[in-house]
Structure formats: C-alpha cells, structure tokens
Structure 1
C-alpha cells in the first residue's frame, strides 16, 4: 500500500478575485428601523454606535462600513437602498462578513432571507445574526435560518392582523382613520375635526355645477385651469381623474366612508380597492356639507351611467353601447363632413340671447380649419325636426311602424339581464370555491408560495372583473321596469297611430340610431343644416334643419317682415311646425 501524504490546511482566507491575502476580516454591520417615531430613531442611532464600537474593538476585524436604513419596512428589500448597496459591495468582494442584530432586522420575508443568504454564501460572505447566534457559513446555519425566518415572517403577519383589527375597531367607533384632509375642507389632526374652507369650497361647487350641466372631466379641467384654480396638491394642471375623484367623494355631502381600500398581505403590501372583500364603515352627516345630498346623488347617477357605457361586455360582442348622457343627443349626433360627434354648447349664456347649440367636436377642439364646413345647429331645431320626421313616419310608413312594434315586443319579453346575473353568480361562486381550495393546498404545503401567489392573484382578478360586471348588470336591471313601462306606453301610442305633440327623449332614443348633421350632395353643394335621421330599422329621413330654427331674439322689424314674406314660399315653416305640437325643452335638461 502506497503512503499518502496529508497536506494540512491552515492558510488565511484569500481574496481570490484580487489574488492577495487578507489578514483582517472585513466586517460590515446592517441596522434598520421601520418607523420614524422618536423611540425608533433613538434605537437606530444606538444600533449604529454599537456596531461601530463592536467592529473597531475587535483586533481581527476591520471596518467595512455601517449600512443603515431609516424608517423603512423590512418586508420589501427592494425599497431599502442601503441594504441593496450592502449586497452589491459584497458581490464586488469588498466585504467578508455582515453582522446584524436579528433575522427580522435583515428581512421579515422568508423567501428574501434565504435568497440573499444563499447569494452571499456563494461569495463566501458570512451573515451573523446576533440574537439567534447563527452564522450562515456553518453546516446547520441554513436549517435554523429557515425555521427562525419563518417565525419572523409569521410575527409580521400577526402584527399586521392586530393592526388591521385595531383600525377596524376605531372605524366602528366612528374615529377617522387615514384621512389627511381634502380640497374644500380643513382638517385638524389634534381633535380630528373637519371644517369647510370657504375659498376651496367654491372650487368644489363649481365642479359639481358644471358636471350637473353636462360637462365632462376634461372640459371642467380646462375651465379650472383658465380660472386659475389650484388642484388639491397646489398644482395649476388639472386632470380628469382628479375631477372625477372629487365628484364621487362622499365627504362633500357631509358623509364619511372608511375602508375604501385594503392591503392584500403584509409582505407585498399591495393595496386594492375594496369591492366587498373587507368591511366598510359609513357615517352619515359627519360634518358640514358643501354639496347638497340631492345634487351629489344626481352627479353619481350621471357618473354611473357614463361608467357603465364605457365598459365592453361580451353580450354586446365587445362593442360599446351608445352613451346616454344627461342630454338626449349625447353621442347620437354625427358630423356629416368629418364623422365626429357633436357636443352641446351654450351661446351668450349670461345674456337674454342665450341658446343651446350642437357643434362638431373636431371644429371646437382642434380648430375650425379641421372641419370648415360644419356649423352650430340649434338644439330646438333638431327637436322640432325630429317631431316632424316622426309625424311623417307614422303617416306614410306603416311597414316601418310595424317593425318598431315587433322590436318593442321583443324588448318587453326579454329577460336576458336576469339570466346573465344568475350566470355571473354561479361563476363568482365557482371562483370563490377555487380560491378556498387554493388556500387549503397552500396550508397543507402541497404547492409552493410562488405558484400559490400567481394563481391566487389570477383568481382574484377574475373575481373582481366578474363582480364589476354583475354590478353593472344590476344597475341596468334596476332601471329596466321603468324603461319597459315607458316602452309599453310608446307601443300603445304607435298602435293608436298618435302624433307626437312635443319632443320626447324616450321616444327619440328608442327609435333613432343616429342623426347625421350636414351634407355635401352629389353636386358638391354644402348644406351644414341638413338633418338625416337614421332610424333603428334602417329607414332614413332627410329634413332641412334651417327651417326649424327659432327666430332671432334681436331680429329687426325689417328682417321679420322679410322672413314673413319668404316663409310663404317654404313648404315647412316654423308656424306650421308649431301648430303640430307645443314645444317644451325641459325634457332634455
């Protein structure tokens, strides 16, 4: 048997990357506090002093630096700048060992703890946890680390659950939680009282007033900027999101809703809007209102109608429904020259000559040169023209009327919304059951944490999507009985062949697909006042909108006489049209 010579190890740790011996171990310390309270900051300063003295007092060590994060949570390492700097220095070979007080100071997430410990272990960098007396380079270090870091994570989850419970108890007692003030109100953090800020309250009243008048978020933004009003954050530039956030804020009618959002878990700290997953707490008449409850409710009705019709739903083949806004013609008037919608505007609003007109949005927003042929058409003229078109339709097109009757009968017998809601209820129940099963699998350690989180998030997103869809359908169903009642009245009117005496928004929206305003005929003649009513049966009716214009309020006597003479030559005069019905514009306001 051949003799084996043993070459004993005893060299000092070598810096392999730099090819030179290190006689002193380069030691860095990491310390952290999670809040900015005075006690925590004092603890933070004590940790820094302690580790400075500890490292400098050991003759075998040399100071590699003190890395400290102040007022930073331990559950998310990506937010700890100095922690990331520490890891980078270790990967560059500048540090041999890290000392920290405990596992919870290093990281409160088991996965993060193991990830970084293993990463450092590959670089031969030890992490020493003082309280637990664990050195990660020893044989049993990782096993203990897994157990103790799991305990640290569980501690975080327990603390989070206790904090949540405490906050809910405060909300239940009527104490304000999480409120830091909002535009229109001053907040006193000492006694937690809310009082009206008179100057800012005028901004809130203006926003609600314009919204109730039919203006959208973008329009109100421009007006606020032109008036020089500042946003809640003191900026000059307004966004539609800010305006709509004000519109749906219940605080402006004097109420308080707490629990609008919730934290999914204490590790990711991801926050979601609360759609019923957690309790909410509502307090009525909590403080002085800026907006009346009636006006606030009207604003929510408009907002919800607009929101519903922005959604794409499978039952509509992914197509957006026609937007039914405050006004009968919203999104139903189409420019005959460029194809854009027409928007409602008021001319001479603060004078006795005011009138409502509809104009092409391309011309008004981009400039007249982008749609030069279009002109403003009076709302009253469109209403009168429709009444005349409807009279002619009922008199001369019985086949079209019969098709309308068949359509109405089909709508009255339709119960698709109830079926869709029932189907969604089943789908939501199925998703909740899958979520519960997934939780059970995780508790039994049958799936790992990453797969669990990915699948749970996917199910949660589907649940929120289906819940929102159900909410939209229930809103539609709530109004369905009133709609069916009106449709039955309309059906009776059609069967009796009754003439429409005044403009009726419900009739208009029931039978008209759109109105094309303006036309260039085959001889290239431009007529900006031509109105083409496109009915839902496909029938089209053309009328000259200029014949239905109201007389000018400041018209001279000479022009009136000239108008009377010229009116004798017209087939449809204002007087003749007015004999057919008594006009009332209140239906569209």
Structure 2
C-alpha cells in the first residue's frame, strides 16, 4: 500500500468508519493527550502510568493500569500527529495475519493523512526527549571509555569498522588504538592502525571549528543542502512526475466525456488509471526521498543547540555531534554529521564518502617514533 488511508484495525484514541477514515475517540484521545503532556513535562513512564490510573483512564484492553509497552507505542506512533508511515511491517506468508518488522521493503511517509490528536511539534519534541534519555542511559550504563571508538571508525580501504586494541594494558605505557581485522580475526595490513588520541584530537579540532562558525552554521548547512539537491536533479524529477500526473488526469477527463466505443473507453480509462497510480506512487517515493535525504530543518537547530550548550570542549559527547568517522587512510579522517531524516542504518558510508567537505583542518600527531600528518574534514550525511 502506497497511498494514505487506514491500514490499522485498532488504534487507541481512534475509531474508524466503514470507509476506513480516522475518527477521534475523545475519551481515549484525552488519555493520549495527557500521556504526551506528562512526558513533555519530564515525567517518567512509571509516573505517567500512575497518573493515568489515578485519573481513571483505562488501557486499550480495558485494564486499570497501562502496560509500559503500550505507553512506548503511543509515544512513538506518528499517527497521533496525523501522519502515517506505511509498510512498517510486512506479512510473513500469504494468507496469514502474522507480520514482522519490515527491514527490506521501502517505507512511505504520508503527512497530514488524518485529524491529529496532538500537535506535530509536540510529537517531534517527544522523539527528541526520548533520544536524549536513551543517550544518557547508554552513556551511564553501556559505554566503556576504553572502547568508545569501537565500531565507530569506518575504513574506506577495508570497507568495515575498526576494532579497539589496547597495548601494554594497565601500565604507564598503555596505548589505545584501532586495528582492522578480517572476518577470521586476521590483521588487514593495508588499513593501518589509528590511535585513540589521534581521533580525540581530530574531534576536538572539528568541534572547535563548528563552534567558532556557530553564527553562520545554519547558512553553511543550507548551502551544502542546496548543492546536494541541485546535483541530484530531485526537484526536476518531482516537477516532471507532477506534470505527467496532470497530463494523465487531463487525458482521463477527455476520455470520460468522449463518444468513443464503450469497450474502448473502458480499456483506455483502465490503462490511464493504472499509469496514474504508478506515477502517484513514483511521486510519493520522490517526496519521501526529499523528506528523508534532503531536509535538515528539524536537525540543524538541534545540533546548533548542542554546540551552543557546550561550556567546555571536554564536555562534548562526540557521538552527539559526529555519528561516524570515515578513515580514507590513517592520516585522512572524515567526521560525519547526521542531519538528514534517514535512519542511520539506511546510510551507506561508501556512497557518502565523496560528499562536499564543509570544514577542513590538519595537525601533527606523534606516537613514540611515529609522526602522522593528520588531515580531518567534516561532511554531512
């Protein structure tokens, strides 16, 4: 399914008419609004569940206490903001009602598909708060300082991520570095070792460059985005597809009022409707691509705020600023800022490596008898 409409048999806060149109169920919608309001106020999930119970709201299954997973589903469901992400799941086998998470087929985002229960800006704020909470949890529980760059530096030579290695562990000569191993655990000698402190220095210098240019950062990103869109010919493709749709609609109108043979008319209408459906699907794909790949509107202000809030360069959580580092060689490091709306898992680093560099710099890094003339640059994913 590639057009808007209802693909859900049951959704807390809504009912559906015989045509599948969304109708707000006000008693349940009040609970949804309260859930988002409390979350935006900084309440924990446990506190929200307690508040819902005190106010007498029941879950979708009629329980007095909302399950934690139900709360998470509500807070992450774009339908409450009036939008729809199509093909989130896929059927396991024909004739079965069982489904699984869709990891292979394209997904389509339909904006303003139906009447929202909450404001879109509130939905987006909640998603940012969720990400921030997850980041803090991961920072406190899962991230080891000894392995912070593990699976973070991508080698353009080996086409895989570097692994952490610690030489002379727990001695005054300890050195943390990154080495490249193949699937059998053997060294890939062409991808030379990179030192942790070398990456630290690159991230520090790159972050300082962004902070120094903070006043003009939005303009810099917008210019880079405009160049990307121009090079992609995406706007031209959208315009051409829109023209095709309009021409097909005009042809369809002409055929409908024509006096040609009824059988021929039906065949022509069927063919034109089929072509129109294909063109509409193509237009949805192109607009979705533009939204996912060529729209920084939401993420640029978030990045600028993170940079502005840094009181000390030591406070930087590097993965909040640079999602990955691509090593063209051990002396050429590309720091990647993720500003598009794409899921990071959908980003192909091999395709992004030649993106325009927004900032560049260099420094000498010395480790024992090794002197590395290191060049760093910043690109946007």
Structure whose alpha-carbon radius of gyration is higher: 1
Q: What is the TM-score of this pair, normalised by structure 1?
A: 0.26
Higher RCO (CA 8 Å, separation ≥ 6 residues): 2
Q: What is the TM-score of this pair, normalised by structure 2?
A: 0.39
